[in-house]
Amino acid sequence: MLVPQSEQTKHNKSQRLESQRKEIDDTLATFALSPTQLQEVKAKMRVELERGLKKDSHPTASVKMLPTYVYRTPDGTERGKYLALDLGGTNFRVLVVKIRTGMRNSVRMYNKIYAIPLEIMQGTGEELFDLIVQCISDFLDYMGMKNTRLPLGFTFSFPCNQTEVTSIGDLVSWTKGFKATDCEGYDVVDMLREAIKRRNEFDLDIVAIVNDTVGTMMTCAYEDPKCQIGLIAGTGSNVCYMEEMNNIEFVEGDEGQMCVNTEWGGFGENDNTEDIRTRYDREVDGGSLNPGKQRFEKMTSGMYLGEIVRQILIDLTKRGLLFRGRITERLKTKGIFETKFLSQIESDRLALLQVRSILQSLGLDSTCDDSIIVKEVCGAVSRRAAQLCGAGMAAVVDKIRENRGLDHLEITVGVDGTLYKLHPHFSTILKDTVRELAPNCKVDFILSEDGSGKGAALITAVQKRPFIQKHFKILPTPNLNSTVYSTACTEMENGLGRDTNPTATVKMLPTFVRSIPDGSEKGDFIALDLGGSNFRILRVKVSHEKKQTVQMENQIYETPEDIIQGSGSRLFDHVAECLGDFMEKQKIKDKKLPMGFTFSFPCAHSKLDEAVLLTWTKRFKASGVEGMDVVKLLNKAIKKHIMAVVNDTVGTMMTCGFDDQRCEVGIIIGTGTNACYMEELRHIDMVEGDEGRMCINTEWGAFGDDGTLEDIRTEFDREIDRGSLNPGKQLFEKMVSGMYMGELVRLILVKMAKEGLLFEGRITPELLTKGTFETKHVSAIEKSKEGLTKAKEILTRLGVEPSEDDCIAVQHVCTIVSFRSANLIAATLGAILTRVKDNKNSPRLRTTVGIDGSLYKMHPQYARRLHKTVRRLVPESDVRFLLSESGSGKGAAMVTAWASRLEVCGAVSRRAAQLCGAGMAAVVDKIRENRGLDHLDITVGVDGTLYKLHPQ
């Protein structure tokens, strides 16, 4: 049966349209992402986030995770007047931002916008920064502020490696159409300062430099404290968020948070998005200024979406599917189809005639069908962009939730960018995607109405607020830790040398303790322990029945302040009285027990039971003792023979060595601080002999007394030193030990209150009183759960009525003071461990460090911080940290047991030598008389292990 011609024509046309429709649908299907594909994008983004944070994988990660050194978001207490710059696209903005005291939503801004011509964007770096400075000059004239030196915040929206918030570091690469020469790899702040110098009209106090994502987050966080993520969805695409410090491996410190600029626009540079990239993405990438770079940004940002649409339209037109197959010169022009046209065309309120009108303005003669297709193309491209951003955001919020160990997270994202603001569907698709891919996160999005310039001003205000950052160099960088470590290594070497010891600050005193316990010790001993305001006496029984056991009984006696700073005879008489009381209570007054003495002050030993006090520390100032043998003074007072005198670090090492014979380092981190370790005798120039080992008491508390630590000492350290009993001495100990830590915190709080940064400027008499803020308060305040409650209690007792923000600030002060202490101790301990490792000539050190001291024991975070930094400084080591539960008194008993055995052995060997000597005298006298001589010169040939090996 023949079909009429008209119907055949209709049928053919229908088939042709159906075929064309299928081609269009197939083309746009390459932009459609399934739920599975979106989950894969999320998973891959998460992997890259983690890789960017790891020290080893960071160099090759496509998502760079750049640290910003912004540690906190605004809390509403910011105030002042600031200058802000905002450079991130074709427009450059200069602002003055005024923030009123303590009130949110109290920011006034004045700004001017300046265009950056294309020839400048792609010219030289000098031309670009000269134009920036010219714009600043014009704005300052406009505001009448040419002679006002305001703090400056600079929003610089390109990937940079920062080393601190006041330094942008090196520009990694230009993005968003910028290509100014001689900038990549150079410090942007330096270039800005040089341009200001060239103009020579004004000066700027550059306080903070941030990425636009960070500025956006800070702007929105001022309105919503839950905002801890910043998103830019405009010309470029990027995200920042508050990451846990302990996850950022290439930045020093593991306490608190830091904002990380993900630079997620580079996602895909390692080809892990190839499965979702289309031929059009590759054409856009190939024709860009940076082929192969910023691939994710080229699929999601406003700078490229219009160009992707143009490439699709050209392809569909070539295939006769659009514009009757006619490609106009306008359509061939790169950049002619701007992203704003996507937003207009996709508007639900726009009729097809208006879409056609937009196309005609671009020189595209379209039909209604063409308008429908163009609208579908725009929708496919923008929908994919929003979904990809949503998948990336889902990876970020899920990471934050897991960081915090939460089943459910509520968080706010601050957003800026024309794509998010102006596109009719982008924000909705983005939010829906996040909701589907991160169901355990409730994510709110808040629009930044004031741009990232306001955020730069707020960061400047935040940086000005915690003035600790400026005055207190507490958080050492890896370089600073390494510097302290290497300086300590040098000082230890100097302390061991005969020629260099007199001028060395680390005295490296020989203790004449030649071995750690070996399990053969036994007996009944008395141990005295003097090192602070409490004097302890112990009776230590070491027995060998089935296995070696230690029984201890002890009594603590207070040493009054008038005795601590009185005369030496009164001090040792007090020790004798306490000993008499103890022996009477123990019913051993008539027993003659071996006695050891833990004396925790720097002494020069000539043998185990001779110790000349070099200098008092820890508030002791008893007269007539420095330069004297403390063993003689004590023996005179108690009429008993002290067999061994040891430092508390030595006692700690011996105590822990009794439990673990690998222990060869002892360290005290309490009221004072010190360390000892087993050194090769051949390296100790001040002691005869080169066989075996001897324990060295480093006396590292004096480290820095020669000025080597001046770069890291602060005004507060100097104030504490001036008010101490020994100004200019024990400077390292005054920076790290428990005796001074609370006072350091108190001085900082007073200064902050005086500057109006705490307690609304109120300073109470209690807060001004020396010693009212104790180190135990630091430990209590830093506890994770009840710390803020404790802070409020302690501050209330000091007469202060703290706000919640005050308590948070005080907790932060405590954290950075204790963190510095742990870092500095770790650096010096690292020097000791490296020396022990080198002495053994072993590729990997396996050893145990015995530790005692209230700061190490009681502070909730101290031990973890110390261990982590030691591992970083001495990576080729397995170090066990063993806590001394019994104090250093048990160690003194171990040394006494060793000395007792030595004394018995000495008596036997001495008698043997004397008897041999008497016999030899008879022989040589007989030979002299045989020869009738008044004087005989003769040689005796000797052999035998006793003569050869016995030291005496």
Q: What angle do CA 172, 177, 183 make, to 5 degrees?
A: 35
* Contact present, 327 and 355 (Cβ < 8 Å): no
- Helices 426-437 and 368-403: crossing angle, nearest 10°? 40
* Contact present, 647 and 674 (Cβ < 8 Å): yes
Alpha carbon of 498 to those of 503, 514, 696, 835: distances in Å? Answer: 10, 20, 14, 18
pLDDT tens digits for range 847-876: 999 998 889 989 988 998 899 889 888 888
- Rounded average pLDDT over 432-448: 95
Say whether 842 sits in a helix, a strand or coil: coil
For residue 907, the model assigns a pLDDT of 46
pLDDT tens digits for range 658-674: 788 899 999 999 888 99
Per DSSP, 459 falls in state: H
Residue 285 has pLDDT above 90, yes or no: yes
For residue 13, the model assigns a pLDDT of 57
Residue 168 has pLDDT above 70, yes or no: no
Question: In the structure, what pLDDT confidence band is assigned to residue 945 with cuts at 50, 70 and 90?
Answer: low
* Contact present, 810 and 758 (Cβ < 8 Å): yes
For residue 613, the model assigns a pLDDT of 86
- Rounded average pLDDT over 19-45: 93
For residue 889, the model assigns a pLDDT of 52
- Rounded average pLDDT over 324-351: 86
Lowest mean pLDDT among 94-103, 474-483, 756-765: 474-483
* Contact present, 780 and 787 (Cβ < 8 Å): yes
Return d(Cα 32, Cα 444) in angstroms, integer.
Answer: 26
Q: Is the dihedral of CA 162, 167, 168, 170 positive or negative?
A: negative
Residue 103 has pLDDT above 70, yes or no: no
What residues pair up with 109 in beta bridges, in sequence order? 97
Question: In the structure, what pLDDT confidence band is assigned to residue 298 with cuts at 50, 70 and 90?
Answer: very high
Q: Is 648 part of the annotated catalytic residue set?
A: yes
Cα 654 versus chain centre, distance? 33
Task: Indicate whether this model's pTM tops 0.85.
Answer: no
pLDDT tens digits for range 245-264: 889 988 877 777 888 999 99
For residue 629, the model assigns a pLDDT of 85
Amino acid identity, position 689:
G
Burial classification of residue 354, based on how many CB atoms lie within 10 Å of its CB (0-12 exposed, 13-18 middle, 19 or more buried): middle
Residue 6 has pLDDT above 70, yes or no: no
* Contact present, 646 and 895 (Cβ < 8 Å): yes
Q: For 54-190, where are the E strands, in sequence order?
A: 66-67, 80-87, 91-99, 107-115, 151-156, 160-161, 170-171
Question: In the structure, what pLDDT confidence band is assigned to residue 577 with cuts at 50, 70 and 90?
Answer: confident
Between 741 and 203, whose confidence is greater? 741
Distance between the two ends of the chain, CA-based, in angstroms?
Answer: 130
Return d(Cα 771, Cα 782) in angstroms, integer.
Answer: 19
Question: In the structure, what pLDDT confidence band is assigned to residue 531 with cuts at 50, 70 and 90?
Answer: confident
Return d(Cα 874, Cα 876) in angstroms, integer.
Answer: 6
Dihedral angle computed from the Cα positions of residues 229, 232, 238 and 243, in that order, rounded to the nearest 10 degrees: -10
* Contact present, 769 and 747 (Cβ < 8 Å): no
Between 616 and 409, whose confidence is greater? 409
* Residue pointed to by tokens 């700027």: 204
Task: Quickly list DSSP for 690-712.
Answer: -SSEEEEE--GGGTTTTSTTTTT
- Rounded average pLDDT over 497-511: 89
Q: Is 498 part of the annotated catalytic residue set?
A: no
What residues pair up with 205 in beta bridges, in sequence order? 151
Question: In the structure, what pLDDT confidence band is assigned to residue 819 with cuts at 50, 70 and 90?
Answer: confident
For residue 458, the model assigns a pLDDT of 75
Longest Cα–Cα distance in the chain: 160
- Rounded average pLDDT over 118-142: 90
* Contact present, 152 and 96 (Cβ < 8 Å): no
Task: Quickly list DSSP for 462-498.
Answer: HHHSSTHHHH---S--HHHHHHHHHHHHHHHHHHHST
What residues pair up with 599 in beta bridges, in sequence order? 530
Total H helices, total E strands in the chain: 33, 26
**H or E segment to which residue 444 belongs:** strand 441-447
**H or E segment to which residue 863 belongs:** helix 862-873
Q: How many CA atoms lie within 13 A of 67 on its CB side?
A: 25
Catalytic residue chosen out of the listed positions 371, 448, 600, 724 = 600
Q: Is 600 part of the annotated catalytic residue set?
A: yes
Q: Of the ranges 199-213, 306-320, 441-455, which is most confident? A: 306-320
- Rounded average pLDDT over 370-395: 95
Share of the chain above pLDDT 90, in %: 34
For residue 546, the model assigns a pLDDT of 55
- Rounded average pLDDT over 30-59: 94
For residue 310, the model assigns a pLDDT of 93
Return d(Cα 344, Cα 703) in angstroms, integer.
Answer: 70
Question: In the structure, what pLDDT confidence band is assigned to residue 395 with cuts at 50, 70 and 90?
Answer: very high
Count the Cβ atoms, other than its own, within 10 Å of residue 205.
13
Q: Of the ranges 157-171, 241-255, 390-404, which is most confident? A: 390-404
Cα 180 versus chain centre, distance? 34
For residue 900, the model assigns a pLDDT of 47
- Rounded average pLDDT over 360-376: 86
Say whether 446 sits in a helix, a strand or coil: strand
Amino acid identity, position 916:
C
* Contact present, 927 and 936 (Cβ < 8 Å): yes
Cα 232 versus chain centre, distance? 28
Alpha carbon of 267 to those of 63, 64, 116, 263: distances in Å? Answer: 5, 9, 28, 8
Return d(Cα 712, Cα 828) in angstroms, integer.
Answer: 15
Dihedral angle computed from the Cα positions of residues 59, 63, 65 and 68, in that order, rounded to the nearest 10 degrees: 110
Return d(Cα 296, Cα 508) in angstroms, integer.
Answer: 59
Mean pLDDT of the chain: 83
For residue 785, the model assigns a pLDDT of 73
Dihedral angle computed from the Cα positions of residues 640, 641, 647 and 652, in that order, rounded to the nearest 10 degrees: -90
Catalytic residue chosen out of the listed positions 86, 648, 721, 806 = 648
Closest CA to 887 of 672, 699, 653, 663: 653
Residue 829 has pLDDT above 70, yes or no: yes
Share of the chain above pLDDT 70, in %: 86
Per DSSP, 756 falls in state: T
* Tokens coding 809: 């600030």
For residue 27, the model assigns a pLDDT of 93
CB neighbour burial string for 662-691, b if at least 16 within 10 angstroms, e if fewer: ebbbbbbbbbbbbbbbbbbbebbebbeeee
Catalytic residue chosen out of the listed positions 356, 536, 539, 820 = 536
Return d(Cα 447, Cα 435) in angstroms, integer.
Answer: 18
pLDDT tens digits for range 722-778: 998 889 999 999 999 999 999 999 999 998 888 777 887 889 999 999 999 999 999
For residue 476, the model assigns a pLDDT of 43
Return d(Cα 38, Cα 46) in angstroms, integer.
Answer: 12
Lowest mean pLDDT among 25-29, 87-91, 813-817: 87-91
In order of their start, the domains of the chain are: 31-461 (3.40.367.20), 480-511+661-884 (3.40.367.20)
Closest CA to 411 of 261, 554, 217: 217
* Tokens coding 155: 């929003």
